[in-house]
Every structure is written in C-alpha cells, then in structure tokens.
Amino acid sequence: DTAVSQTPKYLVTQMGNDKSIKCEQNLGHDTMYWYKQDSKKFLKIMFSYNNKELIINETVPNRFSPKSPDKAHLNLHINSLELGDSAVYFCASSQDAGGRTEAFFGQGTRLTVV
Amino acid sequence: LAKTTQPISMDSYEGQEVNITCSHNNIATNDYITWYQQFPSQGPRFIIQGYKTKVTNEVASLFIPADRKSSTLSLPRVSLSDTAVYYCLVVAQGANNLFFGTGTRLTVIP
C-alpha cells in the first residue's frame, strides 16, 4: 500500500484554468504538507496542516488554496493557473508537526501549464 | 533557522565509500541533523537523523563532531542505484516543516 498517494501524477493544462491535486496518507499521521519543486530542483514548503488546521502558509499566491477535509487528506486547489506554476508538487506527511519526525513524501504531481 | 552548505555535486565509482559533508555553522542547541535522498521523479526519502557523535542504520552512517557545526553522511560501497540528490537539513525542535537546500547530486559511475 502506498503511504502517501497523490493524483494525478501528471497534469497538463492551459493558462487560466483551475485545477486540483489530491493527496491522501494512510499512515495515521497528524501533519500534512505541500511542497513545490521548480525546474531548478529547489524544494520549497508551501503549506503545512496539523489535524486539519493550517499551521504554515509560506509566501504563496492566494490562487493556491489547500483544503483538508479530514486528517488523512490534503488537497491543493489552484485557480487561474499561470505558466510559472509549472513544477512538481509533492505532498508529504509526518507523525506530528515537529520537523524531527520522519516525513513521508508522495511520488509528486508534475504540473505543466501551457 | 540554521543554513546548510553542501557540495553541489559528487561523482563516485561503484563499490566505493562516499562521504558527503554538510556545514551548518549556526546550528542551535535543540537542532537535529537530518538527511534525505531524492531519486529522479520521486519524492524525497528520509535516510538518517542524528544529534551528535555517530548514528548508523542499514543505509548509511552519520558522523557529527563535538561542535556540531558540520556533519558527514557516509554511504558504504555505493551502487548505481545510489545515484540521487542528497539533502542535509537542520531541523529545529518543534519546527513545523523541513527546509531543503540545494542538495548534493551524487552520480555513481560504473
């Protein structure tokens, strides 16, 4: 069983569209994250949720909105997509909000905006 | 937040031991040192974490000197499948996320 799963794995869409990426973890973890990895391979935190509550919201355009319907899910909605949004988006989870616990990452969603 | 500095890239032949050193001069007392590995087209994967001295698991060893201003990830007898990017992170107690630096791209050569 995949611990952290994201769908879709690939997403190609046109500028201006609205899209969602889903993430689910079956590890019983309390904390979930979204990271963005750009073309230069820098991996940056976007959001962090602990028990369905937002605890970190880095400098991310408000076109990006995370939604956590329950502890096991953290979905990422992106409105009015722009070319610069093209990247690989990783979902992750950890047992608690402390960074010292091991984080488990999904396989990534490669978003291409054309 | 302690900044980390590590080599951008390294090459190694199969079967050799590889040591990747990371500098973290302003590490705080409660910070831990953590290493992640990322293969192409995959998410990062936890390798090892330590506070001081030496930690060893089935994958790697982590050496941390007494001043904790640097750490060395040691991969014994690397194989082609160890080709990946290795990230050194300094994680604060109670931190809510992980900050990844540029990482070290290790290429294992046949």
Cβ atoms within 10 Å, residue B84 = 22
Could you give the number of structural domains in chain B? 1
CATH of the domain at A24: 2.60.40.10
Alpha carbon of B2 to those of A93, B32, B86, B88: distances in Å?
22, 10, 17, 11
Q: Which residue has the higher pLDDT, A56 or B32?
A: B32
Indicate if the pLDDT at residue B76 is higher than 80: yes
A51-57 contacts at long range (C-beta below 8 A, 24 or more positions apart): A55/A31, A55/A97, A55/B96, A56/B96, A56/B97
A53-109: pLDDT as tens digits: 887 777 789 999 999 999 999 999 999 999 999 999 999 999 876 667 789 999 999
At A40, list the tokens.
């230069």
State the count of interchain CB pairs (< 8 A) between A and B: 65
Indicate if the pLDDT at residue B55 is higher than 70: yes
Could you give the number of structural domains in chain A? 1
Question: Strands A73-78 and A19-25: what pairing?
Answer: antiparallel
Q: B3-38 in b/e burial notation, b at 16+ Cβ within 10 A?
A: ebebeeeeebeeeeebebebebeebeeebbbbbbbb
A15-30: pLDDT as tens digits: 999 999 999 999 999 9
At B74, list the tokens.
């040691």
pLDDT for position A59: 78
For residue A62, the enclosing domain spans 4-113
Name the closest residue on chain B to residue A6, using Cα atoms.
B43
Alpha carbon of A93 to those of A105, B7, B23: distances in Å?
7, 28, 27
Distance from CA of B102 to the nearest CA of A (A): 6
What is the Cα–Cα distance from B50 to B44, expressed in whole angstroms? 18
Q: Compute the average pLDDT of residues B85-106.
A: 84
Alpha carbon of B17 to those of A25, B1, B21, B73, B76: distances in Å?
35, 31, 13, 10, 4
Give the distance, in angstroms, between the CA of residue B18 and the centroid of all CA atoms in the same chain: 11
What is the Cα–Cα distance from B5 to A24, expressed in whole angstroms? 33
pLDDT for position B1: 61
Q: What percentage of chain B reaches a pLDDT higher than 90?
A: 78
Residue B1: inside a domain: no
Four-CA torsion B48, B49, B50, B56, nearest 10 degrees: -20
CATH of the domain at B99: 2.60.40.10
Q: Compute the average pLDDT of residues B75-97.
A: 88
For residue B48, the enclosing domain spans 9-109
Q: Which residue has the higher pLDDT, A62 or B2?
A: A62
Give the distance, in angstroms, between the CA of residue B101 and the centroid of all CA atoms in the same chain: 11
What order of strands is seen across the sheet that includes strand B32-38?
A: B9-13, B104-109, B84-91, B32-38, B45-50
At B25, list the tokens.
């001069």
pLDDT for position A60: 87
Residues of A with CB under 8 A from a CB of B: 4, 31, 33, 35, 41-45, 48, 50, 55-56, 90, 92, 97-100, 102-108
> Which is nearest to B105 in space by CA: B3, B6, B25?
B6
